[in-house]
Amino acid sequence: MTIIMSIVSPLGIIAASDSNVTRTDTDQASSDPKVFPLGFTNGALALCGSYRTGNNERMDAWMPACIESYSRTDSPTQAGFAEYLKLRLESDLSDAQKTSANLYQIVGYVEDDDGIHPALHFVRNAWSMNTATGAYEDIRPEFQVSEDFWQRDYPKDRLEELVNPHWSRRYFNGTPDGRIAFAYFGELFQQFLQAVWLQPSWKFRPPETLGELSSLVELQIRAIGTLYEVSDYQAPFIGGDPQIYPISTPTGAVILE
């Protein structure tokens, strides 16, 4: 499986993933690209699920070609690409590949009637999640698309909850055990950071640049990869060098505060 992550913050946006891809026929992992810049807009995509299409084409070839194909359409947008990807996945993945969860986070800055602002489009064929185990359920051949940041998590009537110069909204998907461990570590790690930052005589501080925030994200992903190295799993489903794609805030973007 994998762990993919999107972070939206006042410092900018980060699309991230580990790099391990596990072969089901050998239970061995290789290191492969799972984060792809969109190019036609200020955004990126991270994928989790099958790394091959129905005709056995690898995602590190198929996904850039898919992005390039859409970029040649009239007035390409992030939202439009999410819908295009949905149709391509339904067409190009095999029936067997669509019996397991395939999840794609598309994050970046978009421009519409609200101005220039972050958006997170989530494309997936898992239509629900087990609240007890964290497992993806109701896996269908059809994919669904939603925009989860601007429309759902950052409505204007809830801005007061985010008035914190160090806040960030984080989205992550992956294998249930790894994803839950990732979330738990993230909570404890944040508590540790807050305690360190509050020491008056120490010179540690919260990140002030997108690069500094990226370093903390990389550390968190590496920690979960280390857990899989020190485990009884047959293959290190999560691990390898983290893939971090920072997306700087463009000029004129809505100030998130």
State pLDDT tens for residues 19-39: 888 765 555 567 789 999 999
**For residues 134 and 47, what is the distance between their CA atoms, to the nearest angstrom?**
18
pLDDT digits (tens, 9 = 90+) for 53-67: 999 999 999 999 999
Write down the number of H helices and E strands in the chain.
4, 11
Rg (CA), the chain: 18
Domains identified in the chain and CATH numbers: 3-247 (3.60.20)
Q: Are 8 and 107 in contact (CB under 8 A)?
A: yes
Residue predicted with more confidence, 27 or 205: 205
Q: What average pLDDT does the structure give for the chain? A: 91
Q: Minimal CA–CA distance to 175: which of 252, 73, 256, 103?
A: 103
**For residues 147 and 86, what is the distance between their CA atoms, to the nearest angstrom?**
13
- Of 92-106, 216-230, 233-247, where does mean pLDDT reach its minimum? 233-247
Residue 33 main-chain phi, psi, to 5 deg: -65, 135
Tell me the average pLDDT across 102-130: 97
The pTM score is 0.93
pLDDT attached to residue 82: 98
